[in-house]
Amino acid sequence: MILITGGAGYIGSHLAMALLESGNDIVIFDSLELGHIEIINILKKYGNVKFIQGNLKNIDDIRGVFLVNKIDSVVHFAAYSQVAESVNNPQKYYYNNVYGTLNLLNAMKEFGVNKIVFSSTAATYGEPEYVPIDENHPQRPINAYGNSKLMVERIMDDYDRAYGIKSVRLRYFNVAGADSKARIGEWHEPETHLIPNILKADENKTFKMFGTDYDTPDGTCVRDYINVEDLANAHIKALEYLNRSGKTDYFNLGTGQGDSVKDVFNACEDVLGRKVPLEICPRRAGDPAKLVADNKKALSILGWKPEKTLFDSINSANEWEKRLAKIKSGIVL
Ligand code: UDP
């Protein structure tokens, strides 16, 4: 069985759906602090999911999972991921993201499980020295979130050398979109991400564009928006890679293409077929001007390449927003 920590969250649930659809049995471990039981109940309609509520900070919670399930490999999503929050409250990030992962790795070691795919991030690179960013770019995070993920990457190197636990670290750029059948999608409370915030904006809630004076062609930040289904597929390729005795490694997951905040805003207006109320605001602290992935390594070693466009991501996110509104009001599951 494959264990997914954080499988009730945004990216973890999309991997869960993809694994279920290809007939895998999975165990989801999630505290439900940020994940949603509704997402678990939806996933249960599509295959054999065992759900265990627990917290990685409690070693016994995670030991219990290995004790009663035959786990072959782990995909580890469970983490806090808000950059601004991590700056104000680093304790929360190190305790959860680093200590929690240590508990997971120690349970794996105890039960002889030696394959893990880990959600890392482009935030481990810090302020880019060049773009597109390849995997050899220096890793100098500029916030506690990026530091917490980089520390785990380093721990994983040491756990491979000493205990033979093989890891694949996937460094995500900007994850976007939802399940193409709108069954699951992004559900953060509160929402801070660009695409859902544009889609949710209306006369009562203006969309705030953070910074139009960056050194970029149209003055707004440029990001690499990678579709969540493409991303889920990369995790499957990473598991396959580990199953054929792949060595510990790390890969960027992005499209290799940059889109500005204004590009995304215009594309959202096209998908919605209406104008979105817009307010130009000062820069948000900690936003680099441009983050774009060099994704060639994932293609050459994992055989992964993204297939969906920014339009696909916005379109699926928009369909999901409509469904989410119904789920929240109790109309549908
Ligand atoms: N952004 C924005 N308004 C929002 C949310 C985000 O202008 O309500 C901008 C943000 O400043 C950044 C880009 O959109 O330049 C992507 O931000 P997001 O939070 O989606 O992802 P991040 O790049 O922080 O991982």
Report pLDDT for 286. Answer: 83
* pTM for the structure as a whole: 0.97
User: Which residue blocks in the chain are alpha helix, DSSP H?
Assistant: 10-21, 37-43, 59-68, 83-88, 90-93, 100-111, 144-163, 194-200, 228-243, 261-272, 296-297, 310-328
- Residue 212, exposed/middle/buried by CB under 10 A (0-12, 13-18, 19+)? middle
Ligand 1 atom closest to 123 (CA): 25
pLDDT at 332: 73
pLDDT score of 331: 79
Q: Which of 145, 172, 214, 250 is catalytic?
A: 145
Place of tokens 């890969």: 251
Amino acid 234: pLDDT: 98
Instruction: Please report the pLDDT score of residue 193 as a whole number.
Output: 96
* pLDDT at site 285: 84
Can you list the residues of the chain whose pLDDT is less than 70?
Answer: 333
Find out whether the beta carbon of 290 lies less than 6 Å from any atom of ligand 1: no
CA angle, 227 then 233 then 237, to 5° = 140
State how far the Cα of 306 lies from the Cα of 252, in Å rounded to an integer. Answer: 12
284 lines ligand 1 (CB under 6 A): yes
**Which of 5, 287, 32, 318 lies closest to 176, judged by CA?**
318
pLDDT of residue 149: 98
- Check if 194 has its Cβ closer than 6 Å to any atom of ligand 1: yes
Q: What is the mean pLDDT of the chain?
A: 97
